[in-house]
Structure 1
Amino acid sequence: MEIKIGISDIPREVTIESDEDADVIEADLRESLSKSDGLFKVTDAKGRTVLVPTRSLGYLDLGQPNQRQVGFGRA
């Protein structure tokens, strides 16, 4: 799943490819936002961890859970 994170005062969004389910990521985000000094944590498909302070979080775009298939044949 592709996750796009918009961070305030940064012109480009951060794009992460993650194996986690969208519901799990959303629950983690909600938990992070409920804390006064929350820190949103997400791990990408290669095992790298990205930490974003919730006070600078602009938006979170959860992409499609399945990758689009490339090619002209039928599945």
Structure 2
Amino acid sequence: MDVKIGIRNAPREITLDSTLSAEELSNQVAEAVGNGGTLTLADSKGRTVIVPTAHLAYVEIGAATTGTVGFRS
């Protein structure tokens, strides 16, 4: 799943590709916001992103990432 995380007062968003389903991601975000702690997500490359929920602007959960077709120059 493609995930975009907006951070308050930050010009750029955090993007990652998660192996979790949309429902699992949504549950993790809801739990973190409800607890007022931190949102911790791991991406498909082994990276871990930790964001304090007090600084979250939004979390956008997109469609599953599929292979891209095209030419690179």
TM over 0.5: yes
Q: Note the alpha carbon deviations across 1:15-73, whole angstroms, 9 max, x for none.
A: 1011111111110111111113x1001000011110000000000111112426536xx
Q: Which structure's CA Rg is the greater one?
A: 1
Question: TM-score, normalization: structure 1?
Answer: 0.84
**Where in structure 2 are there 5+ consecutive unaligned residues?**
none
Aligned-residue CA RMSD in angstroms?
Answer: 1.4
> Is residue 46 of structure 1 aligned with residue 45 of structure 2?
yes
Count of residue pairs the alignment pairs up: 70
The alignment's TM-score, normalised by the length of structure 2, stands at: 0.86
Q: CA–CA distance in 2 between the matches of 1:23 and 1:61?
A: 12
Q: Residue 17 of structure 2 contacts residue 65 of structure 2 at CA under 8 Å; is this kept in 1? A: no
Which ranges of 4 or more aligned residues in structure 1 deviate by more than 2 Å? 68-71
* Percent identity between the two aligned chains: 39
What is the alpha-carbon distance in structure 2 between the residues aligned to residue 69 and residue 60 of structure 1? 24
